[in-house]
């Protein structure tokens, strides 16, 4: 099978699923996370064979086939476009957690956001004040109105936060660990179903798997998919 290893296209034997795993024929893989959509082609449970699935958060499997733990699978409803499912699997569910679970936006909130977060913020009734990525994600505390909230996801790109400045302007910082809220198959399935029914991913480019070895810059927003 074709696989990408250390930015090179190589041929590798098809993996054999172990105990608690299935073999998935990947169709679309998201970059850079490696979340993927395809169908189950080998499993101990015959009922799973042929099931369309998306899997995350394991990812990182840039290959035609992947042995995937059953608990990472999210079954897809018949007719779900696999490219859309792959594009929303990680980014879409993370945006859902940021706007509806880990931090709940309310009608009338004024938000600076881009991409899927912006779509889901508006869905929650928030007012979108900018979709400029440099302002939304690079402005930090300086961009906040008095009593505003800075929502962080993952690392903190703003460096050390001055607590005195927070107190002076009555600002708050809310850090959301999306992995915590997406830790179970049921939570991932619910989040993915929510975004599949409500938002459209921004798929910037579809690239053949072999061409992924050339290396590509990670976009500020939107998704690059590998066609397998």
The domain 2-87+198-227: what is its CATH number?
3.90.180.10
| 74: nearest Cα among 185, 215, 180, 167 | 185
Comparison of pLDDT for 132 and 1, the residue scoring more: 1
**0.85 cut: is pTM over it?**
yes
The answer for residues whose C-beta is within 8 angstroms of residue 125's C-beta and 6 or more apart is: 105, 106, 107, 108, 109
pLDDT band at 91 (very low <50, low <70, confident <90, very high): very high
For the chain, which residues make up each domain, given as ranges? 2-87+198-227, 92-180
Q: What's the confidence (pLDDT) of residue 154?
A: 67
pLDDT in tens, 95-120: 999 999 999 999 999 888 888 999 99
Give φ, ψ of 70 to 5 degrees.
-55, -35
DSSP at 221: S
**Residue 28 reports pLDDT greater than 60:** yes
Cα–Cα separations (whole angstroms), residue 15 to 18, 20, 62, 92: 9, 14, 13, 29
Q: What's the confidence (pLDDT) of residue 8?
A: 86
**Residue 213 reports pLDDT greater than 80:** no
């Amino acid at each position: 099978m074709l696989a990408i290893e250390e930015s090179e296209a190589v041929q590798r034997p098809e993996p054999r699923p172990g105990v608690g795993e299935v073999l998935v024929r990947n169709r679309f893989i998201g970059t850079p996370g490696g979340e993927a959509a395809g169908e189950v082609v080998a499993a101990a449970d015959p009922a799973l064979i042929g099931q369309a699935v998306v899997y995350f958060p394991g990812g990182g499997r840039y290959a035609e086939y992947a042995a995937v733990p059953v608990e990472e699978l999210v079954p897809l409803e018949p007719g779900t476009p696999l490219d859309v499912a792959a594009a929303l699997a990680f980014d879409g569910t993370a945006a859902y957690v940021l706007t509806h679970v880990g931090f709940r936006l309310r009608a009338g909130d004024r938000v600076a956001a881009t991409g899927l977060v912006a779509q889901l913020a508006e869905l929650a009734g928030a007012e979108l004040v900018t979709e400029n990525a440099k302002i939304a994600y690079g402005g930090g505390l300086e961009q906040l109105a008095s009593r505003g909230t800075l929502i962080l996801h993952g690392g903190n790109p703003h460096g050390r936060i001055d607590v005195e400045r927070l107190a002076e302007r009555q600002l708050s910082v809310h850090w959301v660990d999306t992995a915590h809220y997406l830790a179970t198959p049921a939570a991932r399935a619910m989040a993915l179903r929510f975004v599949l029914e409500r938002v459209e991913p921004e798929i910037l480019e579809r690239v053949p798997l072999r061409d992924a070895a050339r290396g590509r810059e990670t976009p500020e927003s939107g998704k690059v998919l590998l066609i397998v």
